[in-house]
Structure 1
Amino acid sequence: MKALKISNIGTALAIAATGGLAGAAIAESNDEKIARAMSAAPADISANATIMDVDGTILKEGSNDWVCLPGVGLIPGDTHPMCNDPVWMKWMASVAAGTDFSTDVVGFSYMLQGDALVNNDNPMATDPNDGGVWVQDGPHLMMLFPNMEMLADLPRDPFAGGPYVMWGETPLAHVMAPIEAKEDTN
């Protein structure tokens, strides 16, 4: 697979996301962060996962290949937990560093507590009133694929029902697989 060029989009994403999508987190204990992080995935994954704070501090060593975080580290102050396999951790690191990302295998991430309000087409958008398609998913699974051709027949509309492509025309493209219905508030 050809590497996807991310350039500085990861840095810009982190900066743009501070425009009202997440507020400053209230001080909380490591036990609270660990419990929230573990709630992102089924217990058979999260019970043995490494729990890592959004700043990279290891809160609990794990024995499987999964890493659970108490928030999305790319969005300062975010408290929507996620559990990532090694492919998604590589994607997160690439986005944060603004470097190329590629994979030869499918990657998985769980967000069973839901996600922040985001623009489905433009990861850089910060204003929900900009006319774009904004979506806030409840519980969902996210998937990365080795090539974009594999996503060609999936809808880009998050309200079509079932899995859909988020950020499909960017190097950050991934498949969202909602676990429950959502309402179109656009």
Structure 2
Amino acid sequence: MNRVSLWTIVLSGAALMLPAAALAEDGDAAKEAMIARAMSAGPAQIADDAKIVHHDGSVLREGSNGWTCMPSMGPGMDFPMCNDATWMAFMQAFAEKKDPNPTGVGVSYMFAGDVPVNNDDPFDTTQDPGETWVAEGPHIMVIVPDAATTLKDMTNNPNAGGPYVMFKNTPYAHIMIPTGPRPEPGDK
């Protein structure tokens, strides 16, 4: 039996034995854990008043400062992030494979790092020989209007030792600013 189906059976059986009040408490504890995870993505002065949104779009906590933090980006992408409104619009365009065309600077914090991605092709899902893939550690991401012109002279080499452009020469080009070490291969 694979691990997923075993855990499904174990958790389903355990849930049947818990009283309704305990299930509500567990739900509250899980929600609070997701909120804490989302808040860990950015600086406290932003995360403390940010809206917290699950990757499915459900609001876990309302916010008051125009920022949105998420505990993960989706199944298998357990990396929290905090985004300003410009970055949220950028993410929506990315999800729909549309050009984002930001009119101002956008900022995103990912203090827990990110999943490995092809630094040149935003939609590549398979690492092939010769491609530049990077699993960034803690970092800040910045988008700018007219990235093709603004970022044309900035390196896209993630190993250059400082900020670099991810997805250069695509509509999704943005600045990556590492703030800590990268994970070792095999680390999450």
User: Smaller-chain TM-score range?
Assistant: 0.7 to 0.9
Secondary structure of residue in 1 paired with 2:150: helix
Amino acid at match of 2:117: V
Q: Which runs of 4+ in 1 moved over 4 A?
A: none
Q: What is the Cα deviation at residue 131 of structure 1?
A: 2.4
Which residue of the partner structure matches residue 55 of structure 1?
A: 56
Structure 1 residues 30-64: Cα deviation after superposition (integer angstroms, max 9, x where no partner): 11111110000000100000000001000001110
Write the distance in 2 (CA, Å) between the matches of 1:128 and 1:100: 24
Structure 1 residues 15-36: Cα deviation after superposition (integer angstroms, max 9, x where no partner): xxxxxxxxxxx99811111111
Listed as ranges, the matches of 1:2-17 within 5 Å are: none
Structure 1 residues 152-181: Cα deviation after superposition (integer angstroms, max 9, x where no partner): 221110000110000112111111000024
Which residue of the partner structure matches residue 160 of structure 1?
A: 160
Q: Pairwise CA RMSD of aligned residues?
A: 2.2
Q: TM-score, normalised by structure 2?
A: 0.78
Percent same amino acid among aligned pairs?
46
Listed as ranges, the matches of 1:73-152 within 5 Å are: 73=74, 76-148=75-147, 149-152=149-152
Which residue of the partner structure matches residue 170 of structure 1?
A: 170
- Number of residue pairs matched? 159
Write the distance in 2 (CA, Å) between the matches of 1:141 and 1:106: 13
Amino acid at match of 2:135: Q
Amino acid at match of 1:63: S
Write the distance in 1 (CA, Å) between the matches of 2:73 and 2:129: 23
Write the distance in 1 (CA, Å) between the matches of 2:109 and 2:98: 23
Q: What is the Cα deviation at residue 183 of structure 1?
A: 7.8
Structure 2: gaps spanning 5 or more residues: 1-7, 12-26
Q: Max radius of gyration: which structure?
A: 2
Q: TM-score, normalised by structure 1?
A: 0.79
Which residue of the partner structure matches residue 66 of structure 1?
A: 67
Q: More helix by proportion, 1 or 2? A: 2
Write the distance in 2 (CA, Å) between the matches of 1:88 and 1:62: 16
